[in-house]
Structure 1
């Protein structure tokens, strides 16, 4: 069983019908150069940004196979959100929760992404239903740094580099509030949203998408 979520700040939406195909393309920035008497060699570099693509169905009526945790919503509700993601020019969070038929949690995908493009398609005989193909790209947060250059004797200079956004010292526990998810708790309290699985493991949470308001979590 798959569940797909898109989240911008405190608003989280669950896509009613999981896509039949889900593609993650992990890119690289390796460089091939030619050396004399040796030929081509491959210089390995850090991986590039991941590309994500999938196609979803937005039903125009309530089907038994669709999921609506907060009640049935017409396709325009989701299309308005997609437009907002483009207009706001902010990264969104893609969360894919996987569960085996015997209810055992499988691996999750939890990644900050940008909505690069989406295509809307309608089919004859399926009035009201909308198909949307989405193209996403991994987003990596970055911090600006302030460089202070000072002149000293003998014409020498020194440079001091400071990050504009200092790291926050995490608390030992956190009480879950309305709208919280493990990833935004990890980002807010630990300055690293990728540590959400550490919080889940520390608190024996089998499904990272299921936490309760008022629940007290231990933080690593």
Structure 2
């Protein structure tokens, strides 16, 4: 099985050996007056992800570089920016089996809790980085504005709805540096798992779904 792992828009050249995701609980155990113990069920806690990342400093045939960063130094600087910026970003895992069959994918908005850079003599000059990520849940107040229109007013406001047989113009997306089909699908369609729909529509220009280039214009579903 092939793995692609993204930290924000950065594709890791070598996927981690393990990707443990811990889903914690906020349940609370209390004792009643009669001494009976019960469990108070509460919403699930935030997922925590621990990764040991290797950034190679030599040429490895199995390493994949997509241009989102050039070396370990730039990767560490990007981590500093993510930590200092105090903003959530995407953690993405794409799993693909033999024959291009897609398995379940992971896409979480996360924050960078901590990272540790270490040198391991057994790893040669490669840089080892331990990351701790935590799931981020968006919150806030949503204000909805409702406008009530009578039928005649609504028809006058939307005359295009009466026109029949006019196809809507095709939607397109121009590939930017660091993009992959998953991130484009997440950004434009709201679901990274629909990346194969984009690939199927653009097989005339995308021969390998893992290789797209800045400036390419893709037709969107």
TM-score, scaled relative to structure 2: 0.71
Structure 2: any 5+ residue segments left out of the alignment?
146-167, 202-207
Q: Report how far residue 63 of structure 1 moved.
A: 1.1
In the other structure, the counterpart of 2:218 is: 215
Q: Is the 8 A contact 1:23 1:52 kept in 2?
A: yes
Structure number with higher helix proportion: 2
Q: Is the 8 A contact 1:185 1:196 kept in 2?
A: no
1:178 equivalent among 170, 175, 179:
175
Structure number with higher strand proportion: 1
Return the alpha-carbon distance in structure 2 between the equivalents of residues 61 and 72 of structure 1.
15
Q: Report how far residue 4 of structure 1 moved.
A: 0.6
Relative contact order, higher structure (CA 8 A, sep 6+)? 2
In the other structure, the counterpart of 1:2 is: 3
User: SS where residue 29 of structure 1 aligns?
Assistant: coil
Return the alpha-carbon distance in structure 2 between the equivalents of residues 26 and 205 of structure 1.
34
Return the alpha-carbon distance in structure 1 between the equivalents of residues 38 and 192 of structure 2.
39
Question: Which consecutive segments of 4 or more residues in structure 1 shift more than 4 A?
Answer: 199-213
In the other structure, the counterpart of 1:104 is: 101
Q: Report how far residue 53 of structure 1 moved.
A: 0.6
Return the alpha-carbon distance in structure 1 between the equivalents of residues 35 and 195 of structure 2.
50
Provide Cα deviations, 1:190-217, integer angstroms capped at 9, x if missing partner: xxx4x443x5577686999788843333
Structure 1 vs Structure 2 CA RMSD: 3.1
Return the alpha-carbon distance in structure 1 between the equivalents of residues 119 and 73 of structure 2.
13
In the other structure, the counterpart of 2:205 is: none
In the other structure, the counterpart of 2:204 is: none
* Aligned residue pairs, count: 184
Alignment of 1:128-167 (within 5 A): 128-144=125-141, 162=143
Alignment of 1:40-119 (within 5 A): 40-70=37-67, 73-119=70-116
In the other structure, the counterpart of 2:17 is: 20
